[in-house]
Amino acid sequence: MLRKAVLAAFAVGMLVHGGAAVAQAYKSEYRLSTVLNNAFPWGQAGERWANLVRERTQGRINIKQYPGASLVGGEQTREFTAIRQGVIDLAVGSTINWSPQIKQLNLFAMPFLMPDEKALDALIQGEVGKDLFKIIEKLDVVPLAWGENGFREVSNSKRAIASPADIKGLKMRVVGSPLFLDIFTALGANPTQMSWADAQTALASSAVDGQENPIAVYFASKLPGIGQKYLTLWHYINDPLIFVVNKDVWAQWTPEDREIVRQAAVQAGKENIENVRNGDAGMLKQIENAGVTVTTLTDEQRKPFIQATRAVYEKWTKNIGADLVKKAEEAVAKR
């Protein structure tokens, strides 16, 4: 009898209140935000996390996914604030979209900091990743695992880009962190900030000439079909994803359920990173078959882009914090 009562109390969570533990009811549904839906590795990562948690908690934690950043009306750079406020319970979010609130997350958008996947791994699996999780925790959001949106490549409707001169004058859609405005301005382009939802309309109507996104996003959004016929693989930045839970929601759950949620996030994140990295080659073939001119920059061809964005890199080293940037550079060098 007593054993039963104890188990029942744990099934609904415990809250210490005035010294006494009182049961706290779970919500019937927890809201998970992602920017992209399950046509993309990012959306699939959210779906996988939700399904694993539902199965392993026998439905105690029932997560519903809201893609398109719909809980913030598509305004993806407001997502992190909405998690803090409890409008969003869980998220698989992009470091780019959260960087207006967490300036240190701009680190991953530092031009040409990470030349390859190993460099990204050295950051997210090392000290830098731990430091960033501590910063997020201080903001009352519980970070659990890393995923990956991918290396961001550049496309446009006008011409092949092989040197900074080719990018001059192009109207480029960029995401809502001021660092992107600085990068594309330094390259002589004409950048304009908008959400991903607005970007697709702007590309289709030729209000903008180009954009930058990972291959999987370019492909699943069918950008070749709306005139984005030139794709340059320059690997200038990579956008990791972070699996998080609102702190009050986290506190509602039993330690056992928290552990289930954490392990499911780690597993979904690992699978997501594999999916993104293994998917690119097959997609590139189909992209080329669709008549897209794909330009892959050599190390030599990347150099003038690195030089042209060097002043931006230095300016943003100060904004992000010189210590963190140095730690990241050292981790990349040692990879």
The site for ligand X2X (CB under 6 A) is made up of 35-36, 76, 94, 96-97, 149, 175, 196, 213, 217, 239
Which helix or strand (DSSP H or E) is residue 201 part of? Answer: helix 196-204
Shortest spacing between CB 243 and ligand X2X, in angstroms: 15
- Closer Cβ to ligand X2X, 208 or 261, answer by number: 208
DSSP β-ladder status, 14-17 and 20-23: antiparallel
Q: Report the alpha-carbon distance of residue 180 to residue 170 in Å, rounded.
A: 14
- Closer Cβ to ligand X2X, 36 or 287, answer by number: 36
Shortest spacing between CB 237 and ligand X2X, in angstroms: 11
- Closer Cβ to ligand X2X, 261 or 273, answer by number: 273
- Closer Cβ to ligand X2X, 97 or 157, answer by number: 97
Shortest spacing between CB 32 and ligand X2X, in angstroms: 15
Q: Report the alpha-carbon distance of residue 278 to residue 330 in Å, rounded.
A: 27
- Closer Cβ to ligand X2X, 104 or 213, answer by number: 213
Shortest spacing between CB 175 and ligand X2X, in angstroms: 5
Closest by Cα among 172, 218, 167 to 193? 172
Q: Report the alpha-carbon distance of residue 82 to residue 88 in Å, rounded.
A: 6
Residue entry with tokens 């533990």: 21
Q: Which residue is nearest to ligand X2X (CB)?
A: 196
Phi, psi values for residue 268, rounded to 5° = -65, -35
- Closer Cβ to ligand X2X, 155 or 213, answer by number: 213
Shortest spacing between CB 152 and ligand X2X, in angstroms: 7
Shortest spacing between CB 77 and ligand X2X, in angstroms: 9
CB-CB contact of 110 with 320 (8 Å): yes
Using a 10 angstrom Cβ sphere, with 0-12 exposed, 13-18 middle and 19 or more buried, the burial of residue 140 is middle
Q: Report the alpha-carbon distance of residue 155 to residue 211 in Å, rounded.
A: 6
- Closer Cβ to ligand X2X, 96 or 161, answer by number: 96
Q: Report the alpha-carbon distance of residue 224 to residue 201 in Å, rounded.
A: 14
Shortest spacing between CB 196 and ligand X2X, in angstroms: 3
Shortest spacing between CB 267 and ligand X2X, in angstroms: 23
Phi, psi values for residue 262, rounded to 5° = -65, -50
- Closer Cβ to ligand X2X, 152 or 258, answer by number: 152
CA-to-CA separations, 97 to 109, 117, 173, 265, 283, in angstroms, rounded = 11, 21, 14, 19, 25
Specify the 3-state DSSP secondary structure of 212: strand
- Closer Cβ to ligand X2X, 113 or 175, answer by number: 175
Shortest spacing between CB 36 and ligand X2X, in angstroms: 6
Region of 286 on the Ramachandran plot (φ > 0 left; ψ -120 to 50 alpha; else beta): alpha
**3-state secondary structure string across 234-287:** EEEEEEEEEEEEEHHHHHHCCHHHHHHHHHHHHHHHHHHHHHHHHHHHHHHHHH
